[in-house]
Amino acid sequence: MKSEDARPALAHAMSLARRGEIGAICVTRLDALVGPCENLIDTADELRRLGVDLVVLEQNLDTSTPSGKFMFQMLAACAEFQRDLLRGSLGPGQGAAR
């Protein structure tokens, strides 16, 4: 995960998850967990791989439920779409700058 240096509490929680010591991560806000949207995709993939659920209090999101899992996947899809759009708009500008 890229954000380990910037988010030591997340890195610690993920290390516990890797050892199987936690089954869920609970945060007050989604941006408190992942920061920039592009980290949402990486974090979602990592949590899914580890079998760790996510509970986000302010957004009433709980990935241990079917509806919570669906909403989290939709948020991750929106973040990925936003990232792809940004990449697409940066490409021509970077080429022109060179």
Q: CA dist 90 to 36, 55, 82, 84, Å?
A: 17, 34, 12, 10
Tally of domains within the chain: 1
CATH of the domain at 23: 3.40.50.1390
Its domain, for residue 56, covers 2-89
Tens-digit pLDDT profile for residues 30-73: 777 776 666 777 887 788 888 888 898 988 889 899 999 899 88
Q: In this structure, is residue 46 part of a structural domain? A: yes
Cβ–Cβ under 8 Å, residues 13 and 25? yes
Tens-digit pLDDT profile for residues 12-40: 888 888 777 788 888 888 777 776 666 77
Q: In this structure, is residue 81 part of a structural domain? A: yes
